[in-house]
Amino acid sequence: MASKKNTIIAKIKGKEPRIDSRLIAGGLGIAHHNFIALAEKYRSRLSAFGLVLFETDKVKAKMGRPERVVYLNENQCCALVTLSKNTERAVDLKFALVMAFSEAREALAADTDYLPSYREAHDNVAQLVRFHGSSVSESIHHANLERMINKALKVPAGSRKQLPPAIRSAVAVAEGIANAAYKEALITGQDHKIAYKKAKVSILRYAETVVPTLPLLEYAA
């Protein structure tokens, strides 16, 4: 039997995965305001696990129906959910929460690999463009490189923040391949056009191998 898709997704708040209280209340099958009351009741004890992050939903506030929400970290979620009766819904929620926090940690780890290589690519492109000159700006050259990587790995434009960890890691590898080509150009005196062509050949070769192993993106066309 196919596994049920996890509908609980953690948000990164202050570099820490947290779950929206509305998702937890829905998973338990209780009214959200009752769950908020429970969080308030145990707020001082929950604070032992970190900041108890209450916020007001800005979208609903603009509509004249402000809603108070609490974003809970892993230990806070565990503490509150254990107060619920061990119904089938509660058990399903506990498993979903474990999966959500695990996926969030994987995504954070992928970000740790991806962001430095992305910034390094920007810096390498900028150095080459400044040295050899160009009729267009450094940012456009870097954007062209990123578009090429997206196309090779079948990543829709504007979706990198939503990527599963495996695909984000593949993007980080592609950035590393590009960086190697641009560094070689800096050392040998080749210009950014040659560096881009070399990077493209190597990235397309890498994509042929890795793309078939990556998870399908549900939002891809």
Q: Assign residue 163 a region: left if phi > 0, alpha if psi is -120 to 50, beta otherwise?
A: beta
**pLDDT tens digits for range 84-141:** 888 889 899 999 999 888 878 877 766 666 677 888 888 989 998 888 888 888 889 9
What is the band of 72 on the pLDDT scale with cuts at 50, 70, 90?
Answer: very high
Q: Is the pLDDT of residue 218 over 60?
A: no
Nearest CA among 163, 142, 143, 149 for reference residue 216:
163
Q: What is the pLDDT of residue 66?
A: 81
Would you say residue 192 has pLDDT above 80?
A: yes
Rounded distance, CA 130 to CA 96, Å? 50
Burial classification of residue 71, based on how many CB atoms lie within 10 Å of its CB (0-12 exposed, 13-18 middle, 19 or more buried): buried
Closest to 204 in 3D by CA, of 137, 149, 123, 128: 149
Q: Is the pLDDT of residue 3 over 90?
A: no
